[in-house]
Structure 1
């Protein structure tokens, strides 16, 4: 990825259309001092994710996230991983009525990056623009730290946001490489989790997971590849995390 100056980031000069927006974002504008000099950023909690029952996750987060969040893979290619935060659409059991994240639970980098995002300035370009969702609750013109200094240069807050957003984007690209390889090896398959909840059977499906028999059947050189690329640890964290589904279900009624 090429480095960019955030003050030069423009995405077609306008907000992106709704169909192309990533999850949780309602609009994206390339940040410029001319257009966004008055913007400030403040902590508004995680209420913006209260309706998200699944949140994207990078492979590098698996070992920490697995301690408190079930991790699965999307059913559609390229089968990017997500953490399950609710067992029905529009529910997030990790966000309370005040917008606070569940104490002790891991907060995915995808949420910590919000409301920023990196987009290519054009479909065939390697140049990236730092964008912001101007409708996000964290964005204000009166409260919080300024994004730009008086001379129009990025303020420390914006420099930090760019560095973190870039690191998240790079991690997601590495994750995509991993999921494509896992699929190529035949490891990602449709999966179901079933358990008893309040005396009745509960079934959770619609996702992919690493298939244990397929993993065990890999050739030694393929297992060595997964080990050497750091993916075996990721796979085991994912498999162990699925065991947290019943605990997630118990939180539905407190």
Structure 2
């Protein structure tokens, strides 16, 4: 359950925010939603796939963190074991809500039931004079990037879908000793279709700034090998 309320200095000035990541903090996720503007940073660590949103049925871009629904192979004793943390995780437990009276304005909301919040330890949200802390400002920046990226993301998947560049993919992971994984509901770039696109379509993708993302996303599937290494390392540590 979530309990989002508008963030207020007077109401929430004593709250502190966890400085790390962990399963107990809600980070045990096998895949997280991301936006296309993150692709250049994401491909250094994560396989990227499309999946269908259960809420809208539309395609959305996601970064795979593990092979099971609640398996995050990037969590470590020190927090997050990768150079880039997806925006969706960096902004937790905050969100934005569009103002009903002023559609161009957003309200900053905080989930008071989040395990990331405490009165005892963590980063402060506000300085004593009411100014947002550096941590809170970083979260606001992440949310702004998400809001902007979400609009771009909707157009990105619509354009690719219209060109037939999204296709289902059967990802079968064999870890040996009879251990296999087959994450369901994944879609990827249709590379054969991409190769056959007419010049006009390729030019349009380039003009929109999408062509580079398409190639980067297609190549990111190779990061599954990175996840397999992480998975086997985790299995070995449990046996030792």
For normalisation by structure 1, the TM-score amounts to: 0.78
Q: Please give the alpha-carbon distance, in whole angstroms, between the structure 2 residues aligned to 1:42 and 1:204.
A: 30
Structure 1 partner of 2:59:
79
Residue ranges of structure 2 left out of the alignment (5+ in a row): 234-240
195, 200, 203: which one pairs with 1:224? Answer: 203
Q: Which runs of 4+ in 1 moved over 6 A?
A: none
1:212-241 Cα shifts (integer Å, max 9, x gaps) = 122122221111111122211111111111
Greater mean deviation of Cα atoms: 215-224 or 118-127: 118-127
The alpha carbon displacement at 1:42 in A equals: 4.3
Residue ranges of structure 1 left out of the alignment (5+ in a row): 1-17, 19-25
Count of equivalent residues: 228
The alpha carbon displacement at 1:49 in A equals: 4.2
For normalisation by structure 2, the TM-score amounts to: 0.82
Root-mean-square deviation over aligned CA pairs: 2.6
The alpha carbon displacement at 1:203 in A equals: 3.9
The alpha carbon displacement at 1:123 in A equals: 9.0
Q: Please give the alpha-carbon distance, in whole angstroms, between the structure 1 residues aligned to 2:185 and 2:142.
A: 31
1:29-61 Cα shifts (integer Å, max 9, x gaps) = 211233223223341334424420001112122
Is 1:167 aligned to 2:145, yes or no? yes
139, 158, 165: which one pairs with 1:187? Answer: 165
Q: Please give the alpha-carbon distance, in whole angstroms, between the structure 1 residues aligned to 2:101 and 2:68.
A: 35
